[in-house]
Structures are given as C-alpha cells and as structure tokens.
C-alpha cells in the first residue's frame, strides 16, 4: 500500500470549523473550485458531501449548484461557509506538452496562490493537478487503482489531511488505432484501457464508460478526473472528520 503522511494534520484545523456547516440535507458542504463539468465534484457527492462548484466559464453540464466566478477572488466569508475545499487549477502550464512546446509561460500558474487562499481558510483542503506541477507531499492516483476504470490518468493530490492511495498496478496495454503498434487490432475500446485526451483513441461512449462519467461532452471528459478518485478522498476525509469530532467531544 502506498502511503503518505501529510505535512499538516486535520487536528490543526481550528476545532470550531469541524463539521459545523451542515447543509439543509444535513451533509457537510464541499466547495469545488475550478469545477468544469464536475468530475471531481461528483466523487465528493458520492462520498457524502453537498457540493457547490465555481468556475470562470459557464458550466451547463455541472450536476450540482454552480456559481460562475473567479476562484481567486472569492469572499473569505463565503469560503468559510464550507466544511472543506477542493481545487483543480488549470494544469496547462505544468503539463509535459507545454514543456515540450516551450510555451508553459503562456498559461497561468495558479497552484501557489490557490494554496495560499486555501491555507488561509483553516479548512481541510485538496489541490489536484498533473505530474510535474509544484505540489507538496502529493499522493498519486491512477486508473489502475480503481476496479472498473480503464484510463491511465495519473493525477497528484495535495492535502492537509492524510490520503492513502490504493496499490498501483502495472500499466496494461492501451487500446490503439495506430497500425504501427504491435498490439494494433488486438484491443477493444469496451474491454481495454483507452486514451482520453485531445484526439483520443476511442469513441465518446467508450471514454465515458472508461472514466465512470456519463454526463459530459468529450471536451469536458478530457479535462476531468474520474469521480472514483475524489470519492476515495472524500470518504477518507469524512472518516477523519468524524474521528476529530469524537476526540473533541471526549476531550
């Protein structure tokens, strides 16, 4: 089991903030920053959070309450009305593609300012991004760790609580349309791992199935993380919040 003990700890979170912001549905509230069409948000919802998304662009397919706004300019009182915050700032500047093309400087680098805002809230937080991004003590999640997923989508997750990743399995062959590859013609987009990116190598329907997402367009799926990743993180966060609450009550 790969395991990372975080540098911060949930128990450093100001006690009055723990599990105090229950929504009408009596669930803890999670703010999903840079939400796009809600891959991350869906995972937290499945884990048991009431989710509110924020994005600069309109998101007509976002499945939860949505606010169109600049995530870097939110009122601290609004941020404080949540139990936890997730942020998926744009990754282009940190991506291999931008590094190869030498144009990383053309994209905003938002991880540091976002981390500063999240830390200032005192709330449990998660920042998600691509490998190569300047994350602190991040855990890597991959599609091979989740039964049912068929994508090799490595993503880094930095948090101020403990995240335990499932075991990472050997990467399988990925479905291909490239006749030059030795396994051309031997894979199936409904059975094997597929590539979900720009051009991609499978139909939208197979990409949806592979990611565990049935409500997004192809462009939205290209941007998304599989909900299974944040469902795992959300469940771990909820159980750590419950332990922290118990400890406070018995103190």
Ligand X SMILES: C[S@@+](CC[C@H](N)C(=O)[O-])C[C@H]1O[C@@H](n2cnc3c(N)ncnc32)[C@H](O)[C@@H]1O
Residues that bind ligand X in the complex, under the rule CB under 6 A: 34-40, 54-57, 70-72, 88, 90-91, 223-225
- Supply the minimum distance, in Å, between the C-beta of residue 127 and ligand X: 11
Q: Which residue lies nearer to ligand X by CB, 37 or 244?
A: 37
Closest to 146 in 3D by CA, of 217, 207, 233: 233
Q: Which residue lies nearer to ligand X by CB, 225 or 238?
A: 225
Q: Which residue lies nearer to ligand X by CB, 8 or 90?
A: 90
List, in order, residues 6 or more apart from 80 with CB less than 8 Å away: 17, 121, 123
Count of C-beta atoms within a 10 Å radius of residue 229: 25
- Supply the minimum distance, in Å, between the C-beta of residue 19 and ligand X: 24
Q: What does residue 128 show for φ and ψ, rounded to 5 degrees?
A: -115, 140
Q: Which residue lies nearer to ligand X by CB, 40 or 52?
A: 40
Closest to 124 in 3D by CA, of 62, 44, 183, 64: 44
Q: Which residue lies nearer to ligand X by CB, 70 or 178?
A: 70
Residue nearest ligand X by beta-carbon distance: 39
> What is the spatial distance between Cα 210 and Cα 226, in angstroms, rounded to a whole number?
9
- Supply the minimum distance, in Å, between the C-beta of residue 217 and ligand X: 11
Sole residue written with tokens 């990409």: 207
Q: Which residue lies nearer to ligand X by CB, 32 or 192?
A: 32
- Supply the minimum distance, in Å, between the C-beta of residue 249 and ligand X: 34
- Supply the minimum distance, in Å, between the C-beta of residue 41 and ligand X: 7
- Supply the minimum distance, in Å, between the C-beta of residue 161 and ligand X: 19
Kindly list the distances between the CA atom of residue 37 and the CA atoms of 24, 96, 170, 248, in Å, as whole numbers in the listed order.
Answer: 24, 23, 30, 37
List, in order, residues 6 or more apart from 211 with CB less than 8 Å away: 39, 149, 151, 153, 196, 221, 224, 226
Residue 129's beta-bridge partner residues? Answer: 156
């Amino acid at each position: 089991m790969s395991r990372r003990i975080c540098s911060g700890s949930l128990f450093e979170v100001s006690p009055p903030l723990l599990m105090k912001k229950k929504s009408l549905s009596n669930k803890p509230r999670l703010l999903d920053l840079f939400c796009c069409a809600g891959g991350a948000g869906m995972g937290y919802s499945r884990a048991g959070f009431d989710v509110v998304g924020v994005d600069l662009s309109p998101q007509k397919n976002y499945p939860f309450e949505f606010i169109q706004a600049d995530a870097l300019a939110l009122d601290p009182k609004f941020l404080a009305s949540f139990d936890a915050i997730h942020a998926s700032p744009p990754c282009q500047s940190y991506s291999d593609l931008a590094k190869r093309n030498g144009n990383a400087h053309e994209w905003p680098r938002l991880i540091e300012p976002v981390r500063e805002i999240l830390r200032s809230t005192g709330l449990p937080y998660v920042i998600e991004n691509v490998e190569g991004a300047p994350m602190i003590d991040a855990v890597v999640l991959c599609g091979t760790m989740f039964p049912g997923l068929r994508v090799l989508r490595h993503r880094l997750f930095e948090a101020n609580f403990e995240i335990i990743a499932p075991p990472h399995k050997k990467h399988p062959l990925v479905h291909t349309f490239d006749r030059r590859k030795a396994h051309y013609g031997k894979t199936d987009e409904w059975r094997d791992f597929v590539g979900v990116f720009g051009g991609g190598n499978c139909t939208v329907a197979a990409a949806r199935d592979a990611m565990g997402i049935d409500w997004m367009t192809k462009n939205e799926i290209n941007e998304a993380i599989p909900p299974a990743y944040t469902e795992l993180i959300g469940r771990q966060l909820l159980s750590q919040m419950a332990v922290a609450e118990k400890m406070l009550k018995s103190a």
